[in-house]
Amino acid sequence: MNNRQPGPISLNKYDYELSYSGLPTFLKLPYCMTPEDLTAGGIEVAIGGIPWDGTTSSRMGTSMGPRGIRTADHQWTVGYEKYHLHTGIDFFKYLRMADYGDAQLLHGAIELNFANMKKFTSEIVTSGAIPIILGGDHAISWPNVAALADHVGHGKVGVVHFDAHVDTSPLMPGQYASHGSHFFQLLENGEINGQNFVQVGLRGYWPGPDIIHYLEDHHVRSHYMAEIHKHGFEEVLDRAINEAMDGADYLFLSVDIDVVDPAAAPGTGSPEPGGLSSHDILMATRRICHEVGIAGMDLVEVSPPMDSGNNITQHLATRVVWEALTGLAMRKAKLPGPNYLNPRFSDGPGVPYEQLPEPPEGWGTPFEGRSGGIA
């Protein structure tokens, strides 16, 4: 392998493999081992994993999140289309994608592990690809966002943060990191500015006034479920989208799966009833990636051991990433916004499809299967 030419590697044995069979890359995508592979392959979006749950405050299991998300789906993946039945676009045709594997994590070495996380995400960012990082507990957002900010400049990155919790708690004495403190660290380090930090979905019985005042003093745009219940999710999402790039040059999207009501996403460490619907988070992710565009994303706090028997949280998490990819493909195809829907799907029978132009030659992700297993 040391003498091979750089570039993505196909790990698929057959033309038709399910996500949970064979070697589990996300969507059975080609695999890149090094930044040189990403560059040589012209990779635009790289899926990576950070299987970490060393900074959780409650129930464990998020270290199994990246593998669970990669293998949750039931559909054929190798070479199969992903034709989106809201928009009529297939992200495979538009985006060059690869799986970048997982960050190296060593037992008991917390500071080294966080350095490894940052290095891992930095390798994707500096290659020119957009990192989509599968967690892992939410503390991984600290190195993920910091890696992007180091590359493009501190204070130039905005964050849209979907979560039940504010995650801006000061560190406790002796703590290096926590899944409730990562955005506090990013704000205090100057890696992001408060006015470019937009939160959506906050609810429950924490935090108290001190942390709420901290958010207000730093001009954080915090949207609580009370606002969503009063004004409706789409109106609040419109506000968040308008705020997302107010003074920032690049956007990072962070989705904590516990922003979704635990009836639809029970497999998480800190469930909080009364959250968004699965439709809400799917639509919001697609819209932000389409209408605003992202320079990075993470999807965190998926805990397979806490999931229901039919893996509904892992399945939803997989679809959140698919919606992000769909939104990025829509942006590359220059589809109009806001909230573009193909009229055939949104307006009922008898309404014609809006035929989207075929992408130019060289776009999209080439697949290399090895025919067999099907006559």
Q: Is 348 exposed, middle or buried (0-12, 13-18, 19+ CB in 10 A)?
A: exposed
Report if residue 263 sits inside a domain.
yes
Q: What is the CATH number of the domain that holds 133?
A: 3.40.800.10
Report if residue 228 sits inside a domain.
no
Q: Report whether 52 contacts 106 (CB < 8 A).
A: no
Q: Which single residue is written with the structure tokens 């040059």?
A: 249
User: Alpha-carbon Rg of the chain, whole angstroms?
Assistant: 20
Smallest Cα–Cα separation from 201: which of 157, 264, 156? Answer: 264
Report if residue 238 sits inside a domain.
no
Report if residue 67 sits inside a domain.
yes
* Whether pLDDT at 340 is above 80: yes
140/158 Cα distance (integer angstroms) = 17
Q: What is the pLDDT of residues 70-117, one digit of tens each?
A: 999 877 665 568 999 999 999 999 999 999 999 999 989 999 999 999
157-162 and 250-256: which strand pairing? parallel
Q: Which residue has the higher pLDDT, 122 or 180?
A: 122
User: What single letter denotes the amino acid at residue 331?
Assistant: R
Residues near 294 by beta carbon (within 8 Å), at least 6 away in sequence: 130, 251, 252, 253, 288, 324, 328
pLDDT of residue 324: 98
Mean pLDDT score, 9-34: 89
Report if residue 216 sits inside a domain.
no
132's enclosing H/E stretch is: strand 130-135
Mean pLDDT across the chain? 93
Report if residue 122 sits inside a domain.
yes
Domain membership of residue 329 as a residue range: 26-153+250-346
pLDDT band of 16, cuts 50, 70, 90: confident
CB atoms within 10 A of CB 75: 10
Number of domains in the chain: 1
Report if residue 368 sits inside a domain.
no
Residue 151 Cα distances to 145, 155, 161, 250, angstroms = 10, 11, 20, 11
348/342 Cα distance (integer angstroms) = 10
* Whether pLDDT at 19 is above 90: no
Residues recorded for the chain = 375
Report if residue 318 sits inside a domain.
yes
Instruction: Catalogue the long-range contacts made by 336-344 (C-beta closer than 8 Å, 24 or more residues apart).
Output: 337/287, 337/290, 337/291, 338/238, 338/241, 338/287, 338/291, 339/234, 339/283, 339/287, 340/87, 340/290, 341/86, 341/87, 342/86, 342/87, 342/88, 344/88
Phi, psi dihedral angles at 217 (to 5 degrees): -65, -30
Q: What is the pLDDT of residues 263-305, one digit of tens each?
A: 999 999 999 999 999 999 999 999 999 999 999 999 999 999 9
270/256 Cα distance (integer angstroms) = 10
For residue 68, whether the previous peptide bond is cis, meaning omega lies within 30 degrees of 0, is no
Residue 200 Cα distances to 161, 165, 285, 362, angstroms = 6, 9, 12, 37
Adjacency order of strands within the sheet including 45-50: 97-102, 45-50, 130-135, 296-300, 250-256, 157-162, 197-202, 221-224
